[in-house]
Amino acid sequence: MIKKYLTDLTLIGVAVIWALNFSVVKIALNEFDPYSFNAIRFFLAFALLYYAAKRKGFSLKVKREHFWALVGIGLIGNLLYQMLFIVGINLTKAANASVMLGTIPIWVALLSQFFTDEKLTIVKSIGVLFAFSGVALIVASGNNEISFQSETFLGDIITIMSAIVWAVYTILSRKYLKFYNSTQFSAFMALIGFICLSLIGLPSLVQIDWSSISPKAYGGVLYSGTLSVGIAYLIWNNGIVKIGAVRTATYQNLVPVLGLIFGVIILDEVLTLFQYIGALSVIAGIVMARLPVSLYRAKIN
């Protein structure tokens, strides 16, 4: 019985890993600055993904005609996104960040209207409106009232920007994933991120008093680099192979819910009533936007 649902159980585990990562990163950033933290975790992520690619018989070689395009995509996904993500989460609550990044499917659906042949259905359009309304509530209600001067406002905006950037990365990556194994592709992207983030983080890395860093903070960077970026991604790809992309993607809906819960429980973060309402609206929008076409057609019929 357990074997039958083993893939589903591991995907639930991935959702937990990703959701917990928001709180783990917040804790680690109390002792690491964002730039050195990103450099270290991407070294760990690249090492793990490179090892996984080599185990499967893949190298980091890419087609010459694809090289600069892939470098550009890597800069978008593993430099610009990572910088926005780490700065954004440092300036907002883990609960807020988990919900904001949960909107990535919404941005993918919206941007696909302009860059791909995919079109928004009525249900997905309603989902987009729900999500945007929820985001507006979260961003504007950090002080128990609707205002754009809350203490998390800047962090929320930067985190939303990171979600948009990752959506662009996702859309641009689709064309090239046809030519490469997903693990090989991810290892190459992680290499771009590691090189760039290491150069940015180097001044901070040489100034760190390593003896003053607590085991908890070291554990945070290890968790974020190996589990959240590395192992979880490999399990996710396995899920796509075993049970399909649509069924696998449904488990991502758990991330903003669990991320919000972990932020409140682990970090004692306090959300306003409007932020809870906004979070529920975002989650409802995400679910609607990710509904398979066949599912809501069946409901209509």
How many angstroms separate the CA atoms of 299 and 301, rounded?
5
Please answer whether residues 208 and 36 qualify as being in contact, where contact means their C-beta atoms are separated by less than 8 angstroms: yes
- Determine the pLDDT at residue 140: 67
- Among 181, 167, 156, 196, CA closest to 62: 181
Q: Residue 107, Cα to own-chain centre: how many angstroms?
A: 13
What is the reported pLDDT for 76?
A: 94
What is residue 177's predicted lDDT score, i.e. its pLDDT? 79
Which pair of structure tokens corresponds to residue 219? Answer: 């554990």
Residue 76, token pair as written in the block: 């978008």
Taking the whole predicted model, whether its pTM rises above 0.85 is answered as no
What pLDDT is recorded for position 298? 35
The label of the residue with tokens 């076409």 reads 293
Residue 225, pLDDT score = 94
Summary count for the chain: helices (H), strands (E):
15, 0
pLDDT of residue 2: 66
CA distance readout (Å), 22 to 19, 140, 204, 223: 6, 21, 22, 11
pLDDT at 85: 92
pLDDT computed for residue 5 by the predictor: 75
Q: What is the pLDDT of residue 118?
A: 65
**pLDDT value at position 183?**
87
Chain centroid to CA 85: 9
Terminal Cα distance for the chain, rounded: 34
Mean pLDDT, the chain cut into blocks of 10 residues (301 residues total): 76 90 93 93 94 91 92 93 92 86 81 73 77 74 53 87 90 84 89 94 92 94 93 81 69 81 87 80 76 44 34
Hey, what are 285's tokens?
Answer: 């929008």
One DSSP character per residue, 243-278 reads H-HHHHHHGGGHHHHHHHHHHHHHS-----HHHHHH
